[in-house]
């Protein structure tokens, strides 16, 4: 069954393998008349591009997007917007030694189980390179949201054991892309970079956490009972490669709180501005946005490809010592920041349009 | 836009409000020939029923399900299976004082924003009573899974600050429904019950965590890139009332692990039984089941209705002291255990059927 | 895979068998605030009810609809609207002799092939009694459309070889329900009734044609390239029991026309009222409504149940002489008129809401 | 809302405008392991290519398809299969005079109404050039069907007033592509060609009819009550540019038949080969295939672009004499034959996979 499409009204379908001809996608349901800011799209792509620093894979692709349809005189026409990014620096021979070995904690094993065979070159469709198409689709979604002044900002809040202690309200998120870690606190970013360099030297990898904030979202978005806003966000975010956990508002911490601590009482100057005085809820009640900031966190596992030797078994059950090879990131988190923004934007743009049909 | 349907092949559509005539649902896509074990369905309903202990709402409904269609001579016919549960003990007058007040941290505020008005009696459609229909649908899904020996077991692992320290592998999950807490460790369950009684006396409420394990799931379920198994599970689980967080495998703990710690190396006696030797992954790689156990955790916030006075604002912006009234649970977690099992079963049954079309 | 739901935003899910407990449905995505005119719903149901005349099945059900959810203080709340109609006059014993015989040109044969067994009582889910739920869903859809002054009127235009020669523009469609044939031309209706009485005496049945007109539809509805308005109408209409053909505008006659005959030239008094001067197109161009009337025709086959003896084979391949028994209509067309209106309304209401998201 | 995707399991999403960079599509849900016969795909494309004869548009595109993803070592991997066909011979200047005029009976008028503006170059997304992507998607679907020996053959049965009188059972459909008319009866094809040449000289255009037959389809495909096989076929076929009518089996002729004439009695040598002795039904009962041939007919309107002068109004309401210009077909029917086959294949492949989930 097909599962390369996300969204109900604003929909993105993606395609492409790491070592195929191209990565790409089709956006269907983009409202006609939207001006397509190509520079903005390319900027978001650049933010996930490899080779931004020492700790990223040196695979150096320009990752330039070509739009094929759906745009006329600079604006979306209502027809599907297709785009491709050609793969130029695909060094398949790096993967020849993996023809007979499932890499530990990679998807080759399960793709083989599901489909009977798989494209073993560079992870094939399971490669994080697939997220390029998400970033392009998400950038178009962000353009829709910016027309309503809705703002999405994600940032690195943890790398390994280094944790950014400040809450988003104490940070200037506009500065999040000023360093290669994509952490808006320079001091913490420095510590994180040092850690990553150490781990790289050790031939190992690590995980981390991304926080994301949505501001200026109007109240009323989200569709009970199954497409609650947090449910659709959780799905979109958990579909990102290496994501292991999602929480919003107080998240897991809410489990040990009392109702009297967690409840957000209402306050108002007048009827029209009634609003929760606090925001433990994380901007959503009953699956519908409250008008307060939405904030959530995503945990990522360590990169599975490491340079250390690993004693595993090949496809025929023989023990084999797998030596690390190829290009890889030490930690996926910094480059996943624009991907989290993209997936968030896709969900919110979809719900913004869906909500146009709620009332008579 | 409509959002009361979940699933692509095995689909559940639900309806009903807390104080309306009935709660119910329609299951579409249930494979013909499935024997419908009505006792099993009713047993699952009984496990979420109120009034099981002191710490639950005393609303005492029999919650007896009536099937209206889709079953002939004891088996599913392939036609949609509709069912209803009548609401008998709906005391709407308990809610009269809430006509002009949004209860803090309840969905009334957001439903009003979205739809322009709302059924304020007992939470209306936003009431957790809605989950009855999920439990019935999930029970039918479990019957599908049991034909393939797939087993889903959820249990209470945390109430407030009381945490069950044992891992699922050290517990006998068959005992999870032996106490009112739905925790398979009697000693911990006792402490949790004591805590809940204290909180009840204080007029407060608390949150908690549910763990869930899926066993005997074959490798190959899950649909990259957007309907990865963890993504669909996250969505289904996060759509449950009061859920605030979802993590699977090592979850948030993975963020601070090294790749060399987190990777699951392969082991095998022969080609056909190649399998990960450890299971940090939580039974899913690249969005597809590995054949190992799937395990995940869900955080729930404290119940929003408390007996303490709360200084909030009414709909017109006037400060108002809200006094607690009505029937309510001190903690949603024990009764949410069968709901987590139900939502899990719905996702897995859907993917089991979807996977029939993966290969030629 | 499930297929008892129609629509993308305004969605109807139906359930129920001819001889089960109830027929019913769930409407999801009805805009909140819509006043539900219960009398209008019941009126549409009455128009498809059996027993309206000699030529209908004497099965005499009140067919009273009970709404279970989604309506509060007379208006749609945005929550799903569920409804049921209990089956009271189900005489299953009439069908006992059919346990071992597939009735010729009935669906029992194919249901058995597909699902391995089937509910053979009165056609089960394949009975035209299923359309009750369509009529209720369609009536709610019509209430949505009436808010925009959109008007849908179907009528009998052919019974057997008796053809209504007048075009819809020469008829007063408000009079279509004044006779049991549901034909707005009394003289033709009289001839049709005479024909049906003759066929009834002969123990036979016949087919017919229904025409349908949609007026006051704004330009702009329909979604290229796969959900063109005529495509969604064709699907909805062809899903009605016994429908064999669909054509709109000039339909099959267009095949032998010249472009210079068929083209609709534009005319205008000013820019804002530019409109096609003729309407060979039938109100749709490129899959999108033009603002002119939409008109289409539906062919229905003869009722398969006849009172004549038929030499067929039983399930085991033995020749068997099947004698007609039970209650049945001589022609499905008169009672299908409100069903055609209902299916049309469901499609148009869905597209009306969908079109809210076309532009920025 | 998006509508450039068709299918539930075997899904095709298409994109591209007549004068944009490329036409293309994404196939999702193709079963892994299917060998992709590129020659077959190109052959189907060639059958709809312009420039095959005098009566077609001389626009001469190679229409060579490039596959971008989802195929590895010659077989479908289970990942989405994306493809593009570049537009090379797009002469946009031919359309400059149409910036201010809606062409009569073209979609420019309605696209403008719906989306606020439109790509007026060569019909943009509304051009029949869009069907290239359907033919590629349909060819892949046909490869799936050929594995089950299912065979789809469409052919021209009417051009203007020239009607092929023979039934499909009296024709050798393997010869349908032997002439430019795509009619399997050479004598009739000759008359049709003569007619088209006359109409071309007159600067006019005409319509026609395509018949289609599906053989070797197993019983059991189709999903009541809304995705009946004829309903999904009708939708797919009616979404083709210029289609005005759809009928299957006896179609509109069934309206004037008696039940005793139309009924298909069963016959059998033994239980396993029970089958309808005749096939008035057209191979479908109750929305599910019977195992007999499915046959249906599609009416197409005359091509809207003609070389005759037409007195119409421009966008500002001023009368204007529109002179014919540009390249165009005299009749769409011959080139639509492979498009009808493609849409039919897409529906049947989808239902073939869907039916894998019907039974336990």
Q: Which residues from chain D sit within 8 angstroms of residue A77, using beta carbons?
A: 115, 117-119, 124-125
C123 — pLDDT class (breaks 50, 70, 90): confident
Q: How far apart are CA D160 and CA C256, in angstroms?
A: 4
Number of Cβ within 10 Å of residue D250's Cβ equals: 22
DSSP state at residue D122: G
Min distance D345 CA to chain B CA atoms (Å): 16
The pLDDT value given to residue B273: 77
Among the partner residues B244, B262, B304, nearest to A302 by beta-carbon distance: B262
Helix B38-48, helix B333-354: angle, nearest 10: 140
Q: How far apart are CA B320 and CA D315, in angstroms?
A: 60
The pLDDT value given to residue B118: 85
Provide Rg for chain A, Cα atoms: 21
Containing structural domain, residue A268:
5-356
- Does pLDDT of D59 surpass 60? no
CB D334 within 8 A of CB D231: no
What is the ipTM for the molecules in this complex? Answer: 0.97
- Does pLDDT of D293 surpass 70? yes
The predicted model gives A169-177 an average pLDDT of 97
**What would you measure as the largest C-alpha separation in chain C, in angstroms?**
72
Contact C113 D220 (CB under 8 A): yes
Chain centroid to CA A154: how far? 9
Show which subunits contact C, needing at least 3 CB pairs below 8 angstroms.
A, B, D
C10 Cβ partners below 8 Å, 6+ apart? B2, C27, C29, C30, C141, C144, C346, C349, C350, C353
Dihedral, C48, C54, C60, C64 alpha carbons, nearest 10? 30
- Does pLDDT of C277 surpass 60? yes
CB C213 within 8 A of CB C153: yes
Closest among C272, A112, C49, A251 to B245, alpha carbons compared: A251
Q: Which one has a higher pLDDT value, A91 or A251?
A: A251
Residue B151 touches partner C, C-beta closer than 8 Å: no
Let me know if D165 is exposed, middle or buried by CB neighbors in 10 A (0-12, 13-18, 19+).
exposed
Question: One digit per residue, pLDDT tens: chain B, 360 residues?
Answer: 679 999 999 999 999 999 999 999 999 999 999 999 999 999 999 999 876 666 666 556 678 999 999 999 999 999 999 999 999 865 666 667 778 899 999 999 999 999 998 888 888 999 999 999 999 999 999 999 999 999 999 999 999 999 999 999 999 999 999 999 999 999 999 999 999 999 999 999 999 999 999 999 999 999 999 999 999 999 999 999 999 999 999 999 999 999 999 999 999 866 567 899 999 999 999 999 999 999 999 999 999 999 999 999 888 888 899 988 766 789 999 999 999 999 999 999 999 999 999 999
The pLDDT value given to residue B62: 76
Beta-bridge partner residues of B71:
B76
Q: How far is CA C61 from CA C17, C45, C303, D206, D333, in A?
A: 14, 11, 20, 51, 49
- Does pLDDT of D273 surpass 90? no
CB B155 within 8 A of CB B184: yes
- Does pLDDT of C61 surpass 70? no
A84 Cβ partners below 8 Å, 6+ apart? A16, A22, A23, A24, A65, A66, A68, D68, D84
Q: Which residues from chain C sit within 8 angstroms of residue B11, using beta carbons?
A: 2, 5
DSSP state at residue C315: T
What is the chain D residue with the closest CA to C291?
D110
Contact C254 D300 (CB under 8 A): yes
- The pair of three-digit structure tokens given for residue B24, joined into one six-digit string: 């119910």
Mean pLDDT (chain D, rounded): 93
Q: How far apart are CA C64 and CA C176, in angstroms?
A: 23
Q: Which residues from chain B sit within 8 angstroms of residue A200, using beta carbons?
A: none
Categorise residue C37: left if φ over 0, alpha if ψ from -120 to 50, beta otherwise.
beta
Among the partner residues C31, C79, C224, nearest to A357 by beta-carbon distance: C31
Residue D220 touches partner A, C-beta closer than 8 Å: no
Give, in degrees to the nearest 5, the angle at Cα C240 between C234 and C245: 50
The pLDDT value given to residue D336: 98
**Number of independent structural domains in chain C:** 1
- The pair of three-digit structure tokens given for residue A282, joined into one six-digit string: 């994380």
- Does pLDDT of D120 surpass 90? no
Three-state SS annotation for D263-313: CCCEECCCHHHCEECCCCCCCEECCEECCCCEEEEEEECCCCCCCCCEEEE
The pLDDT value given to residue A54: 62
Residue A7 touches partner B, C-beta closer than 8 Å: no
Chain centroid to CA B333: how far? 9
- Does pLDDT of D56 surpass 70? no
The predicted model gives C292-315 an average pLDDT of 95
- Does pLDDT of A309 surpass 70? yes
Question: 223-282 in A: which are within 8 Å (CB) of B?
Answer: 223-228, 230-239, 241, 243-252, 254-271, 273-274, 276, 280-282
Helix A131-146, helix A38-48: angle, nearest 10: 140
The pLDDT value given to residue A163: 98
DSSP state at residue B268: -
Beta-bridge partner residues of A214:
A152, A294
Among the partner residues B9, B72, B82, nearest to C2 by beta-carbon distance: B9
Q: How far is CA A207 from CA A201, B277, C107, D322, in A?
A: 16, 21, 58, 66
Q: How far apart are CA C110 and CA B196, in angstroms?
A: 57
Min distance A161 CA to chain D CA atoms (Å): 36
- Does pLDDT of A274 surpass 70? yes
Task: Tell me if the pTM is above 0.90.
Answer: yes
Q: How far apart are CA B290 and CA B288, in angstroms?
A: 6
Helix A38-48, helix A333-354: angle, nearest 10: 140
A81 Cβ partners below 8 Å, 6+ apart? A26, A27, A28, A30, A36, A67, A69, A70, A71, A140, D15
Q: How far apart are CA A156 and CA A170, in angstroms?
A: 15
List, for residues C248-264, the tens digit of each pLDDT value: 999 999 999 999 999 99
Among the partner residues C5, C13, C15, nearest to B68 by beta-carbon distance: C15
C271 — pLDDT class (breaks 50, 70, 90): low
CB A92 within 8 A of CB A19: yes
The pLDDT value given to residue B135: 98
Question: 117-136 in D: which are within 8 Å (CB) of A?
Answer: 117-119, 124-125
Q: Which residues from chain B sit within 8 angstroms of residue D149, using beta carbons?
A: none
Among the partner residues D9, D69, D114, nearest to A17 by beta-carbon distance: D69
Residue D147 touches partner B, C-beta closer than 8 Å: yes
- Does pLDDT of A259 surpass 90? yes
Beta-bridge partner residues of C214:
C152, C294
- Does pLDDT of C58 surpass 60? no
The predicted model gives C36-40 an average pLDDT of 96
Contact B69 C20 (CB under 8 A): yes
Report chain C's terminal Cα–Cα distance, integer Å: 35
List, for residues A24-58, the tens digit of each pLDDT value: 999 999 999 999 999 999 999 999 987 666 666 65
Dihedral, D318, D322, D326, D327 alpha carbons, nearest 10? 120
The pLDDT value given to residue C324: 80
List, for residues C198-231, the tens digit of each pLDDT value: 999 999 999 999 999 999 999 999 999 999 999 9
Q: What is the DSSP string of B160-178?
A: TTEE--S-GGGS-GGGTTS
The pLDDT value given to residue B123: 86
Looking at chain A, the number of H-run helices and the number of E-run strands are 7, 18
List, for residues A135-150, the tens digit of each pLDDT value: 999 999 999 999 999 9
The pLDDT value given to residue D98: 75
CATH number at residue D264: 3.60.150.10
Closest among C258, C276, C259 to C267, alpha carbons compared: C276
DSSP state at residue D240: S
Q: How far apart are CA C339 and CA D225, in angstroms?
A: 14
The pLDDT value given to residue D54: 62
Beta-bridge partner residues of A319:
A313
Q: Which residues from chain B sit within 8 angstroms of residue A265, using beta carbons?
A: 104, 310-313
Closest among A284, D317, D56 to B107, alpha carbons compared: A284
Strand A208-215 with D266-267, pairing: unpaired
Among the partner residues B16, B28, B78, nearest to C5 by beta-carbon distance: B28
Q: Which residues from chain A sit within 8 angstroms of residue C358, using beta carbons?
A: 31-32, 78
Q: How far apart are CA A83 and CA A15, in angstroms?
A: 10
Q: How far apart are CA C98 and CA A73, in angstroms?
A: 66
Q: How far apart are CA D165 and CA D170, in angstroms?
A: 10
The pLDDT value given to residue D207: 98
- The pair of three-digit structure tokens given for residue C148, joined into one six-digit string: 């925009």
D90 — pLDDT class (breaks 50, 70, 90): low
Residue in this structure with the two tokens 């077609």, named with its chain if needed? D56
Among the partner residues B282, B299, B315, nearest to A274 by beta-carbon distance: B315
Q: How far apart are CA D262 and CA C123, in angstroms?
A: 19
B343 Cβ partners below 8 Å, 6+ apart? B134, B138, B236, B237, B239, B240
Let me know if D99 is exposed, middle or buried by CB neighbors in 10 A (0-12, 13-18, 19+).
exposed
CB D15 within 8 A of CB A26: yes
Residue C15 touches partner B, C-beta closer than 8 Å: yes
Dihedral, C79, B11, A244, B171 alpha carbons, nearest 10? 110
Question: Which SS3 state, helix, strand or coil, does residue C353 take?
Answer: helix
Dihedral, A18, A21, A23, A28 alpha carbons, nearest 10? -150
């Amino acid at each position: 069954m097909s599962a390369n499409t996300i969204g109900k009204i604003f929909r993105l379908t993606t395609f492409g393998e790491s070592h195929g001809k191209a990565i790409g996608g089709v956006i269907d349901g983009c409202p006609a008349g939207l001006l397509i800011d190509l520079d903005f799209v390319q900027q978001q792509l650049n933010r996930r591009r490899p080779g931004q620093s020492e700790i990223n894979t040196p695979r150096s692709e320009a990752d330039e997007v070509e739009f094929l349809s759906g745009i006329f005189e600079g604006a979306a026409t209502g027809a599907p917007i297709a785009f491709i990014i050609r793969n130029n620096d695909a060094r398949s021979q790096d993967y020849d030694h993996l023809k007979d070995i499932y890499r530990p904690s990679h998807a080759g094993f399960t793709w083989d189980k599901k489909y009977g065979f798989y494209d073993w070159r560079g992870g094939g469709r399971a490669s994080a390179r697939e997220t390029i198409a998400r970033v392009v689709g998400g950038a178009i979604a962000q353009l829709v949201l910016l027309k309503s002044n809705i703002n999405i900002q994600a940032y690195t809040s943890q790398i390994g054991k280094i944790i950014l202690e400040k809450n988003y309200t104490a940070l200037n998120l506009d500065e999040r892309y000023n360093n290669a870690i994509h952490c808006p606190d320079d001091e913490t970013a420095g510590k994180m970079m040092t850690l990553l360099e150490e781990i790289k030297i050790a031939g190992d990898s690590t995980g981390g956490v991304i926080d994301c904030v949505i501001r200026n979202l109007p109240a009323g978005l989200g569709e009970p009972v199954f497409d609650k806003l947090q449910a659709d966000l959780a799905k979109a975010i958990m579909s990102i490669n290496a994501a292991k956990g999602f929480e919003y508002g107080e998240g897991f911490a809410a489990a040990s709180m009392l109702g009297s601590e967690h409840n957000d009482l209402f306050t108002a100057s007048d009827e029209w501005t009634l609003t929760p005085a606090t925001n433990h809820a994380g901007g959503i009640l009953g699956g519908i946005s409250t008008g307060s900031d939405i904030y959530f966190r995503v945990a990522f596992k360590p990169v599975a490809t490491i340079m250390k030797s690993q004693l595993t078994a090949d496809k025929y059950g023989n023990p084999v010592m797998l030596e690390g090879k190829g290009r890889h990131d030490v930690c996926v988190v910094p480059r996943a920041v624009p991907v989290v923004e993209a997936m968030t934007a896709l969900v919110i743009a979809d719900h913004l349009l869906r909500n146009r049909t709620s009332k008579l």
